[in-house]
Amino acid sequence: MEEVKETSAVHDVTELEKHYLLGTYARFPVVFTKGKGVFVEDINGKKYLDMISGLGVNALGYAHPRIVKVIREQAAKLIHISNLYYNQYQGPLAKKLIEASGLSRVFFSNTGTEAMDGAIKFARAHGHKVGGEGKFKLVAATNSFHGRTYGGMSLTATAKYRDDFKPLLEGVTFIDLNDIEALRAAVDDSTCGVFLETVQGEGGIFECTSEFLQAARQVCNQHRAALVLDEIQCGLGRTGEMFAFKHHGVTPDILTVAKPLAAGLPLGAIIVTQEIADVISAGKHGTTFGGGPLACRTALEFLSIIEEDHLLEHVQKVGAYFHQELVNLRDNFALVREVRGRGLMLALDLNIPSRPYADAALVAGVLINSTHDTTLRFLPSFITEEKHVDKTIKVLKKLLKKKIE
Ligand SMILES: *Cc1c(COP(=O)(O)O)cnc(C)c1O
């Protein structure tokens, strides 16, 4: 296989990291310096089509003129002021998220995992209020991913993410996704929350069925447990609806979002019903950075662009086209097992390890991600067009002709 060219510029960067950084990332051997639209450029000037968009964060691509403008303006005015004081942007951003979700109140965090930790706190505080101290148990799905802090990790089933760090939070039960019987058996009056990704991302793009989500809603109502939907990856337009739960006619009590919210700046949100909000008073939760004026103003611009440029419709249209093209690959290549997902959250499952294909795609100038051993994951930006899908498919066709190890 052709290698990515290791120039001295790349070597300098990687060597320094090898000496001074923790070895937490199995990085691709490439150093990026800038981007424009759906393309990103490496330190040697080679251009790549980005079909993973910074793990779903860069939903407007790179250097979007409106995002650059608003960041420039706000950075010159006020970046941070802390939550001791008001800034002008948390209120309007919260209002937009409430109108879009149908819930009632918002708390701003910095990251996804922090949003999940807050969600666990709120579910427990609510549980204690309606059912006493003993109502603290959490139910989550196998193959889930909810982040790296103790809360998020405790709800993350996969052994490699958690086993070295035990003991984790107590009272967590895992059930298989879409197993309604197991869900009903796991939830009782001691349960304070059921935590699900509406579409599992890191686990390889597996969607909750409508029946499963409806059963979860019903069983949570029955036992006064909070239904918590983690839409950190699948929310904010990625599936072609503002929130993935909109496809299923089910509304959560607590909703978490993050990745694309502030177009690349760190920002997450916990969005809750009034009933959950009522158990959280001043001093019970907080953050130094979360909800700062720079991130919140940028997020407002992100949501305006989604609306004004009709990007949900665009995601539906290009997503349907991409899905069909992947189905064609499945029908024509023996190495492909399955196509999953919707909108611009798609997966091609192989019957051999997928990482060598992601490596080879990089060499061919297309960024895709390998997850869950055999899955190629696509999380392209919402401005991706059919011609970019065609280029991706062309590269995949070439690579899938032979077994790469
Ligand atoms: C990425 C992700 C998280 C964690 O978010 P961070 O910002 O990395 O902490 C949690 N849940 C889901 C579904 C995610 O995709």
- If one compares 4 and 66, the residue with the highest pLDDT of the two is 66
pTM of the model: 0.97
pLDDT above 90: percentage of residues in the chain: 97
Residue nearest to atom 11 of ligand 1 (CA): 146
Establish whether residue 233 lines the binding site of ligand 1, counting it when its CB lies within 6 angstroms of any ligand atom.
yes
Residue 125 has pLDDT above 90, yes or no: yes
Distance (angstroms) between ligand 1 centre and the Cα of 176 equals 20
pLDDT at site 7:
86
Domains 22-51+310-402 and 68-308 fall in the same CATH topology: no
Please say if the pLDDT value at position 2 is more than 90. no
Tally of residues, the chain: 405
**Closest residue CA from atom 5 of ligand 1:** 112
Establish whether residue 232 lines the binding site of ligand 1, counting it when its CB lies within 6 angstroms of any ligand atom: yes
258 lines ligand 1 (CB under 6 A): yes
Q: What is the pLDDT of residue 264?
A: 98
Residue 105: strand pairing partners: 272
Q: Mutation test of ligand 1: which of 149, 233, 267 has the most ligand atoms closer than 8 Å to its C-beta?
A: 233
Torsion of Cα atoms, 376 then 380 then 385 then 389, to 10°: -10
* Closest C-alpha among 365, 364, 370 to residue 350: 370
Cβ(261)–Cβ(243) below 8 Å: no
* Ligand 1 center–CA 233 separation, angstroms: 7
Number of Cβ atoms within 10 Å of the Cβ of 143? 17
Determine whether the shortest distance from the Cβ of 202 to ligand 1 is under 6 A: yes
Q: Is 231 in the pocket of ligand 1 (CB under 6 A)?
A: no
Look at residues 243, 273, 285 and name the one whose alpha carbon lies nearest to residue 151: 285
Q: Which of helix, strand or coil describes residue 69?
A: helix
230 lines ligand 1 (CB under 6 A): yes
pLDDT at position 392 is 98
Please state which architecture CATH assigns to domain 68-308: 3-Layer(aba) Sandwich (3.40)
Residue 193, classed as helix, strand or coil, is strand
Q: What is the mean pLDDT of the chain?
A: 97
Q: What is the pLDDT of residue 1?
A: 46
| Tens-digit pLDDT profile for residues 181-211 | 999 999 999 999 999 999 999 999 999 999 9
Contact between residue 261 and residue 233 where contact means Cβ atoms under 8 Å apart: no
pLDDT tier, 254 (very low <50, low <70, confident <90, very high otherwise): very high
Q: Which of 34-38, 86-90, 400-404 has the lowest mean pLDDT?
A: 400-404
Q: How confident is the model at residue 5 (pLDDT cuts 50, 70, 90)?
A: low
- Measured from the Cα of 144, ligand 1's closest atom is 13
Ligand 1 atom at minimum distance from 197 CA: 13
Average pLDDT rounded to a whole number, residues 375-389: 98
> Could you state, in order of their start, the residue ranges of all structural domains in the chain?
22-51+310-402, 68-308
User: Which atom of ligand 1 is found nearest the CA of 113?
Assistant: 9
| Ligand 1 atom having least distance to the Cα of 230 | 13
Average pLDDT of the segment spanning 230-236: 98
Which token pair is 256? 């978490």
Cα of 255 vs centre of ligand 1, distance in Å, is 13
- Fold of domain 22-51+310-402: Aspartate Aminotransferase, domain 1 (3.90.1150)
Distance of CA 234 from the midpoint of ligand 1 (Å): 10
> By the 8 A CB rule, do 229 and 238 touch?
no
Residue range 78-88: mean pLDDT, rounded: 98
CA 60 / ligand 1 centre spacing (Å): 19
pLDDT tens digits for 298-310? Answer: 999 999 999 999 9
Ligand 1 atom nearest to 116, measured from its CA: 10
pLDDT, greater one: 81 or 405? 81
**342 Cα: distance to centroid of ligand 1 (angstroms):** 19
- Quickly state the pLDDT bin for 6 (edges 50, 70, 90): confident
Question: Which residue from 108, 148, 202, 254 has its CB within 8 A of the most atoms of ligand 1, so it is best to mutate?
Answer: 202
Condensed to tens digits (0 to 9), the pLDDT of residues 323-375 reads 999 999 999 999 999 999 999 999 999 999 999 999 999 999 999 999 989 99
Q: What is the pLDDT of residue 3?
A: 59
Helix (H) or strand (E) holding 14: helix 8-20
As a whole number of Å, the end-to-end CA separation of the chain is: 10
